[in-house]
A = this chain, B = another copy of it.
């Protein structure tokens, strides 16, 4: 897949070798995330709001209640920055200065627009498939009232980059002789056992979508 063009806005300035501009890498970072942090500006004040999302090609879909501040701001077509981050571990060096984290992040720029009524259901399916693949076919579909209460925004990526750090610590040459343990403490995302709703009326098995999600992490 092709690259996003490098510009002042998306260029990784600090530690440039950690920067990535190809769609394959950026899509992977996005698709592995459950939530995104959405940045927008209201009267010169930045807001950063966590939200669920979905992706289809270069399009990011966000949804929310029609009256939410995020939706009401973004639907005006203002500049938006969407960032997702995975922390994969803490990196312990011999010097405090070289302590770091292993991470994968993607920073996306664009403007959003409201998805028209007739495309809302397809857009919601993109978000649902992103979070829990297969769930769309198991649960009750949105009805007309529910679709009306939900606004969906589509942001086509204008510019983007990913930044990734992997591996162990890098210390100053003279520090390798210090009697200080150095290495990586990895972080792992685990799913706990599915907890059935206490108000469940029937004894239904854990659905296919959840079983698959548990196998995939």
B168 and A96 contact, CB distance less than 8 A? no
Contact indicator B47/A175 (Cβ below 8 Å):
no
The reply to whether the CB of A213 lies closer than 8 angstroms to some CB of chain B is yes
**Residue A123 lies at the interface, judged by CB distance under 8 Å to chain B:** no
Q: How far is the CA of A68 from the CA of B179 in the complex (A)?
A: 32
Which residues of chain B have C-beta atoms less than 8 A from A182's C-beta? 196-197, 200
Indicate how many identical chains form the complex.
Answer: 2
A190 — which chain B residues lie within 8 A by C-beta?
A: 187-190
> Which residues of chain B have C-beta atoms less than 8 A from A183's C-beta?
194-197, 200
Contact B48 A138 (CB under 8 A): no
Q: How far is the CB of A92 from chain B (nearest CB, A)?
A: 7
Q: Does A32 contact B (CB under 8 A)?
A: no
- Bound Cα distance from A214 to B89, whole angstroms: 12
Shortest CB-to-CB span from A205 to chain B, Å, is: 7
Q: A13-B67, A178-B140 are in contact. Are A46 and B39 (CB under 8 A)?
A: yes
Q: How far is the CB of A18 from chain B (nearest CB, A)?
A: 13
Check A122 for interface membership: any CB of B closer than 8 A. Answer: no
Q: Footprint of B on A, CB under 8 Å?
A: 9, 13-14, 34-35, 37-41, 44-50, 52, 64-65, 67-69, 79-83, 85, 87, 89-90, 92-97, 99, 101, 103, 105, 107, 109, 124, 128, 131-132, 135-136, 138-143, 146, 150, 168-169, 175-202, 204-207, 210, 213-214
Interface contacts beyond A46-B80, A97-B146: sample of 10 additional A-B pairs, CB < 8 Å, sorted by A: A34-B90, A35-B101, A45-B81, A48-B83, A89-B192, A99-B131, A181-B196, A181-B205, A183-B194, A183-B197
